[in-house]
Amino acid sequence: METLEFARPAGLRAPPRRVHVGVVASGNLEVLLEPATAAQSQITVRTSADGFGERWRAVIDRFFARHDVAVRIAINDFGAAPPTVLLRLEQAIEAAFA
């Protein structure tokens, strides 16, 4: 089990609500997203797969390149592939602004 922490400059807009998408199960993950109140977006990843910090960093970078938001994100992972991670992040941000 590994816990990774990332921070990004907070974007110009914060979502109006908290959301939860996905489920922690074999090969999947859950994303908990809420508005940030600080000057930075914070991302915490708890993953069952050790040694993939650079891959997680790339996924987080890709997400924030698309979305200029002020959020706190908690990801609980059980071995999801990067496309699944991006899908869940996109679902979370869409639900938060719906």
Query: What was the pLDDT predicted at 39?
Result: 87
**Closest to 29 in 3D by CA, of 20, 38, 37:** 20
19-74 pLDDT per residue, tens: 999 998 877 999 999 999 888 999 999 999 899 999 999 999 999 999 999 999 99
Residue 79 lies in domain? 2-97
The Cα–Cα gap between 22 and 11 comes to 24
Crossing angle between the packed helical segments 53-66 and 82-97, to the nearest 10 degrees:
30
Q: Which residues of 14-30 are buried (b: 16+ CB within 10 A; e: fewer)?
A: bbeeebebbeeeeebbb
| Number of domains forming the structure of the chain | 1
Query: CATH number, domain at 29?
Result: 3.30.230
Residue 16 clears pLDDT 80, i.e. is over it: yes
